[in-house]
Every structure is written in C-alpha cells, then in structure tokens.
C-alpha cells in the first residue's frame, strides 16, 4: 500500500475564473458547465471571441496577456490584459455589452463581471506576489471604463464564491432555475437548461417564452451509394464517390461541405468513413450512423463527452420500478392515442363508411382507458400489443381508392418485409431510430438503459422507448401520405426477392427525400404551445424525459395528434 505524505497528497482541482462569472450569473449555469460539462456556442460567444481577437492585434507596449494558476487560492484563468499605470499593475477585462447603471445613472459593473475582475486581481496577487489595487472593465457597447477597487470586502467576496463553487462541484443535484427569467433569455445554455419548460412544469399557468431553437438547419448527409468514402480536408467533410473501371474520378466530382453545415452523416450499405473524419466529427458534434443495405439500423458512433452526472441520475431514476412503470404508461398512451387519432383523421378523408374502421377506433378507446391502470410492465405490454394489432388491422381502411393493389397491405410484418408498404414502414422506422439515437447522444443520456423496452441485441432500449412517440407523425403518416399520392413506382422503387421486398437504390433515395422533408415541417407543441420542426422536437423530447427525474417533470410524452 502506498502512503502519501502531506506534500504528495492530491490537492483540490483549481476553479476557472470564468466559472465564477457563471456562478454569479446563475448557479444552475455554473453546474451545467462545470459539473455536467455542457457547453454551447451561440452568436454572442463567437462575437466575444472576435472582440478579443481584435484586441490582441492592437499594438500596445504595456499590453500583456497571461495564464495564471494559484493552488493556494484554488483559481486559474487567463487575464484578458495587464497594463501598468503610474507604476501599478492593473488587470483589464473586456465585455461586448453595456454596463449597469445605478439609480443615479452612474456606470457600474454587473455583479458577475465584478466578481470576475476581482478574482483575476486576487489571482495576480497570489501568483505573482504583487499588490493589486483595482481591476478595470471596458464595456464596448457604450464605451465605458468601470473601475473596481480590490479591498478586503472584495477579497472576501472572491473567497466565498470559491467555497460555493467547490460545494456545487461536489453535489449530485442540479440547482433550480433562477428566479430572474430575464437572465435566461441571454444565456447560451438555455437550449440545454430549458428554464421556461422547468417553470411550466411547476406552474401549469405559466406561458413560456420560446428559448429552445425552432430548427436545426444543418444538413443530414445520407451516403447511399456503396463504396463512397467520407474523409476530411481542413474544416470540411469530403465525399469521394466510388471509382469503377468504366467511370473515372474526372466523371464523378468530389464534394466538400463545411463541417459547421453538417449535423449528421448516415452511412448506408458499404460506404466508408476514415479515422481522421471520425475524429473530426466527434470534435464537431456531428452524428455518425450506420444503416445496412437492407435498411436496418446498425449503430451510432458514440461521441458523448463530459461528466457522468447526467447518466448517474438516469441510472438512479430508472432503477426504480415505479418510475419506469409511470413513464411507460405515458409512452403507451402517447403512441396509442396518436394511432387512434390518425385513424380518425383517415376516417374523415374517406368517402365511404367503414365498419371495420369504426370498430377499431372504438376498441382502441376502450383499451386506452385501461392503460393507466396497468400494474406492471408485462400487463402494459399486453395492452400495447392489443392496441397495435387493432391499429394495423384498420390501417388499410384509409388507403385512397387510387392506390394500386401492389402498394396495399393486409397486416404488419417485419424482417423480412413481405410487401411494399411494410418495406416502407421498416425503412422509415430505421431512419427514425437513427434520429432518436442521435438525440439521445446529443443530450448525453445512456441509450442502453430504458424504462419500457428490455435490453436486446437489435437496438438500445431507451432509443426503442422514445421511438414510440414519433412513429405515427414521422413514419406512419409520411408513408401513408406518399402511398395515397401515388409517389411510388411499384417496379423501379422496389427490389423483389422471392417473398421478400426491399427498397431499390432509387427507392431509398426517394424515401430519404420524403422523410427529411417531413422532419423540416413544424408542429406546435401541445404543452409548451410554441412551434418547432420535427427534427428539433426529437431533441426536445429527450431533454423533457431527463426532466422527469430532475424534479421538473410532467411535460414528457405529450406529443399527440390533434
């Protein structure tokens, strides 16, 4: 056994000065960044970087920038600039925005900015052993320079903040949202924190302001042709088509796409990606997913980074059978209600009355009343099985009269699909599973730990759970609409192999276009009452699930068709 003496014992990790700025701004912001290691980069962050870059280019003999660490104080940080005035060393901090004005309209530093510059001043004293009398903050929006004196009260303020930061870093509990909602509107982490949704969970009369982005306009690149290679060149994704003996590289141009414009890369069949590109995608938070040639979801590249805290809370919550059962009830209710309302929509669109359709809608209503009374996951699975059987038996009733016999189906079958309609459903569910996995990894949860589906080889349970919410709006409705509009060529779009039916290359390309177009459509969330595209709703729903075990629940699995 190795015994450490006092000199070799591990010392507490130092805290970034910029983290104290976050602490003074919002305790929850500090926790998300420093404990859960969640960071986002919005327009304000990039603008701040540009400001500092411009300042660094200025030629000034007494301008100095340096990185300091003080183990005694427990701080580290990079001082924006040091200047010498009348023989005194003065740290400077630069801010893009405006200063705070007191009752007399006199310029003052914001509390978070004040703590930050005082912390830098204390860090300089501790690291360099020189007296610091003040720090200065330049607010560039109104061109104001604010002087912040360093006195005993200022040193005590910094010391207290460091202690509070250490306590929070050792906590397993995420602090509640701030009472000052105006701070949230300016926070870069509001799409992760979801403060307005947290307030809504505690006050159903709250009218949330939309801080979660309406859309994600980054491209999803589907690589459908076997042999295509994905690589990296600089800050761009490079797509190189397969070269055959008949087609040279001159005939097939290489395509490059800036990484900032890419959200996912989906590799179908036997397309390839280089190690360099994979590392690059991980660093740029670009999802990489694999789909087999037969349209089956294979897996995703796990690029999660940061703290384990989110997954610890997930493990704790989903180890409780009662929590799992309650979430599973919500899930089954959400899916089956959506299925029933889809049939009701179809009923309004058909000219002739269908007794089978009417009966199915009534049966589903009766079974749905029993779902919330289920005492176990097993009994819930029984209810779900009955609901699904009734739904798929009635689904053929809402085909348009013009749909050719080849595109119709009589019952649900999976692998291998035995008709064209089931082939479309299977491929659509594979793409949806890929998108759900992308959202889970983006949020940082553990896909292998679900609350309804049990662990099995074909897909992670949590992904299968969340898949249920989006089956109807993103796949069932999309497939039925495309079939009723006669968008499919029964010969060219499908590959028939005995009793098996698969999508051809042209069919896959067509389906991807239809599916991705559907995800760009917006839907007003029935609870938050603001509109999002479906591709943003996927991530939002995962974040709302996480809130279920963070004391801010009640909003999950409410996405039901009107």
d(CA 173, CA 388): 39
Burial (0-12, 13-18, 19+ Cβ within 10 Å), 188: middle
Quick check: helix, strand or coil at residue 299? strand
CATH class of this structure's domain 309-547? mainly alpha
For residue range 154-179, list pLDDT tens digits in order: 999 999 999 999 999 998 889 999 99
Q: Could you tell me the residue ranges of all domains in the chain?
A: 15-168, 219-291, 309-547
CATH class of this structure's domain 15-168? alpha beta
Encoding tokens for residue 511? Answer: 């389906």
pLDDT at residue 303, as a whole number: 81
Distance of CA 22 to the CA centre of its chain: 22
Torsion sign, CA atoms 277, 278, 279, 283: positive
Which CATH number describes the domain made up of 219-291? Answer: 3.100.10.20
Residue 38: C-alpha distances to residues 41, 275, 306, 376, 442 (Å):
10, 25, 7, 36, 10
Burial (0-12, 13-18, 19+ Cβ within 10 Å), 258: exposed
Digit-by-digit pLDDT tens for the chain (562 residues) are: 344 444 444 456 899 999 999 999 999 999 999 998 886 654 444 444 444 445 444 544 444 557 889 999 999 998 878 888 888 889 999 998 899 998 889 999 999 999 999 999 999 999 888 899 999 999 998 999 999 999 999 999 999 999 999 999 998 889 999 999 999 998 989 999 999 999 999 999 999 999 999 998 899 999 998 889 999 999 999 999 987 655 454 545 889 999 999 999 999 988 999 999 999 999 898 999 999 988 899 999 988 876 688 899 999 999 999 999 999 999 999 999 999 999 999 888 777 778 899 999 999 999 999 999 999 999 999 999 999 999 999 999 999 999 999 999 988 888 889 999 999 999 999 999 999 999 999 999 999 999 999 776 567 999 999 999 999 999 999 999 999 999 999 999 999 988 899 999 999 999 999 999 999 999 999 999 999 999 999 999 999 999 999 999 999 999 887 7
Confirm if 476 and 393 have CB atoms less than 8 A apart: no
pLDDT at residue 305, as a whole number: 74
pLDDT at residue 65, as a whole number: 59
């Amino acid at each position: 056994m190795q015994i450490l003496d006092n000199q070799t014992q591990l010392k507490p990790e130092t805290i970034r000065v910029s983290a104290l700025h976050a602490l003074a701004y919002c305790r929850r912001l500090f926790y998300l960044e420093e404990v859960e290691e969640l960071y986002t980069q919005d327009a304000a962050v990039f603008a701040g970087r540009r400001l500092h870059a411009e300042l660094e280019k200025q030629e000034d003999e007494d301008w100095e920038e340096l990185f300091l660490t003080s183990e005694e104080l427990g701080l580290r940080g990079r001082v924006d600039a040091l200047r010498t005035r009348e023989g005194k060393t003065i740290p400077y901090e630069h801010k893009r925005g405006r200063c705070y004005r007191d009752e007399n309209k006199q310029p003052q530093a914001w509390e978070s900015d004040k703590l930050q510059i005082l912390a830098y001043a204390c860090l300089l004293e501790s690291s360099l052993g020189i007296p610091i009398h003040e720090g200065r903050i330049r607010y560039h929006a109104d061109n104001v320079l604010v002087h912040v004196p360093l006195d005993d009260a200022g040193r005590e303020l910094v010391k207290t903040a460091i202690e509070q930061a250490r306590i929070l870093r050792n906590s397993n509990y995420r602090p509640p949202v701030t009472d000052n909602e105006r701070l949230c509107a300016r926070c870069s982490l509001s799409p992760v924190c979801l403060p307005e949704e947290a307030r809504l969970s505690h006050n159903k009369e709250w009218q949330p302001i939309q801080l979660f982005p309406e859309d994600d306009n980054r491209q999803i690149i589907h690589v459908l042709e076997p042999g295509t290679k994905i690589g990296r060149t600089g800050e761009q994704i490079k797509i190189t088509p397969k070269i055959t003996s008949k087609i040279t590289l001159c005939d097939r141009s290489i395509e490059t796409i800036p990484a900032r414009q890419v959200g996912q890369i989906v590799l179908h069949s036997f397309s390839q990606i280089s190690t360099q590109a994979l590392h690059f995608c991980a660093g740029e938070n670009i999802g990489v997913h694999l789909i087999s040639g037969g349209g089956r979801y294979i897996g995703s590249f796990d690029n999660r980074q940061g703290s384990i805290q989110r997954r610890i809370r997930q493990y704790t919550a989903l180890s409780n059978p009662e929590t799992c059962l309650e979430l599973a009830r919500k899930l089954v209710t959400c899916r089956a209600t959506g299925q029933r309302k889809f049939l009701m929509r179809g009923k309004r669109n058909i000219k002739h009355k269908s007794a089978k359709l009417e009966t199915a809608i009534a049966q589903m209503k009766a079974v749905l009343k029993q779902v919330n009374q289920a005492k176990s996951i097993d009994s819930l699975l029984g209810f779900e099985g009955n609901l699904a059987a009734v739904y798929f038996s009635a689904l053929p009733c809402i085909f348009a009269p013009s749909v050719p016999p080849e595109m119709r189906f009589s019952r649900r079958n999976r692998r291998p699909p035995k008709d064209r309609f089931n082939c479309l459903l299977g491929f659509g569910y594979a793409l949806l599973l890929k998108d759900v996995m992308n959202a889970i990894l983006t949020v940082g949860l553990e896909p292998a730990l679900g609350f309804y589906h049990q662990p099995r080889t074909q897909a992670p349970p949590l992904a299968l759970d969340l898949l249920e919410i989006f089956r109807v709006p993103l796949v069932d409705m999309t497939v039925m609409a495309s079939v009723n509009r006669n968008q499919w060529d029964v010969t060219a779009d499908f590959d028939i192999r005995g009793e098996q039916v698969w999508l051809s290359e042209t069919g896959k390309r067509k389906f991807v276009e239809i599916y991705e177009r559907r995800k760009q459509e917006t839907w007003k969330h029935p609870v938050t009452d603001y509109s999002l595209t479906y591709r943003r709703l996927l991530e939002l729903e995962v974040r709302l699930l996480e809130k279920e075990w963070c004391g801010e629940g009640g909003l999950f699995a409410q996405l039901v068709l009107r």
